[in-house]
Amino acid sequence: MTIHHYSGNERIDAVRAFNRFYTRQIGLLDEGWLKSAFSLTEARVLYELAHRDGLTATDLARDLGLDPGYLSRLLKKFEERGLVERAAIEADARRSSIALTPAGRRAFAPLNRDSHDQVAALLDRLAASDQDRLVKAMQTVQRLLGGDSAEPKVPYLLRPLQVGDVGWIVRRQGLIYAQDYGWDETYEALVAEILGAFVKSFDPKWERSWIAEREGEVVGSVFLVRKSDEVAKLRLLYVEPSARGLGIGKRLVEECIGFARAKGYRTLTLWTNDILVSARRIYEAAGFKLAEEERHHSFGKDLVGQNWNLEL
């Protein structure tokens, strides 16, 4: 199975193509935004003033990435039309806040309504599940490009395995290990076998699954499987690249250890490969000790398999 990796120019071309597509979809090429007398930039400034209090010209220029001189001319035009007014800031008389006048709010109202209706019409063309996919994809773009730098109050949650998770985890682990390490489809097949067996013989008294979810997407998982009355096995730890750095891997391992201890297991064991450095660091930090290692050829690669144990 070959994984295509985009070159730098291919990535640039793809982003530019999307920009052209989306600007056409939402009418940015029209002379006036939403067939109004306002340009997109003017409408954006009106939006900020309608939804935030106490803004200064400096705030607007910084938050919207506008040239201060251009913004000054735009605001002057708004003042001449009676759409905005300025008020001196008590703490600093040299600075003034800008606010919409009643006329400004009346001018903004149809823009806001038409923008809402335009997006509603765009979404109505899609099934509900596709609408959710679109919104999540847009949130991903926003997060990656820094449009919303603040992390969610709860960066992720842990839950048990649900319908649909198995197929997702099998696919994502297959793709991630192919992209990161060049492993072939036999690893994906192994993950499918392990999870299939886990689901078919699951014993809720002695076994457990933890699925890490962030903004509605699965971003990591781990499974604890009973080997004997005294030994449990930690299996298939993984974290999505987009969620690394949040401590999810460490938390998943800690949950496994805590569950194993609570159930009275004496040893928690796991199998990994020496090239999985980040995972090995988590295991070592949690107290696991390397028990044995052996060279093998699997997943299309020459590897060094390792067994690690934690005495509970």
| Token duo for residue 214 | 């962030």
Is the separation of the CB atoms in 255 and 247 below 8 Å? no
* The predicted structure's pLDDT at residue 4: 67
pLDDT per residue as tens digits for the range 32-60: 667 788 888 998 999 888 888 788 999 99
> Which residues, at least 6 apart from 171, have a Cβ–Cβ distance to it below 8 Å?
188
Closest CA to 61 of 84, 44, 82: 44
DSSP type of residue 148? -
pLDDT per residue as tens digits for the range 81-126: 999 999 887 766 677 889 999 999 899 888 888 888 888 888 889 8
Q: Sort strands 231-239 and 208-214 into parallel, antiparallel or unpaired.
A: unpaired
Measured distance CA(288)–CA(308) in Å, rounded: 6
The answer to which of 3-17, 66-80, 145-159 has the lowest mean pLDDT is 145-159
pLDDT > 90: percent of the chain: 57
Counted residue by residue, the chain has a size of 312
* The predicted structure's pLDDT at residue 198: 97
Measured distance CA(115)–CA(226) in Å, rounded: 56
* The predicted structure's pLDDT at residue 216: 79
Closest CA to 288 of 262, 265, 270: 270
Burial class from Cβ neighbours inside 10 Å (0-12, 13-18, 19+) for residue 224 reads: buried
Measured distance CA(272)–CA(177) in Å, rounded: 13
Q: Mean per-residue pLDDT for 15-35?
A: 79
Q: Is the pLDDT of residue 1 over 60?
A: no
Q: Is the pLDDT of residue 297 over 90?
A: yes
pTM of the complete model: 0.59
* Residue 133 banded pLDDT, cuts 50, 70, 90: confident
Domains of the chain: 8-146 (1.10.10.10), 157-311 (3.40.630.30)
* The predicted structure's pLDDT at residue 152: 47
The answer to which of 69-73, 113-117, 175-179, 222-226 has the lowest mean pLDDT is 113-117
> Which residues, at least 6 apart from 38, have a Cβ–Cβ distance to it below 8 Å?
32, 46, 107, 111
Is the separation of the CB atoms in 181 and 175 below 8 Å? no
Mean pLDDT (the chain, rounded): 89
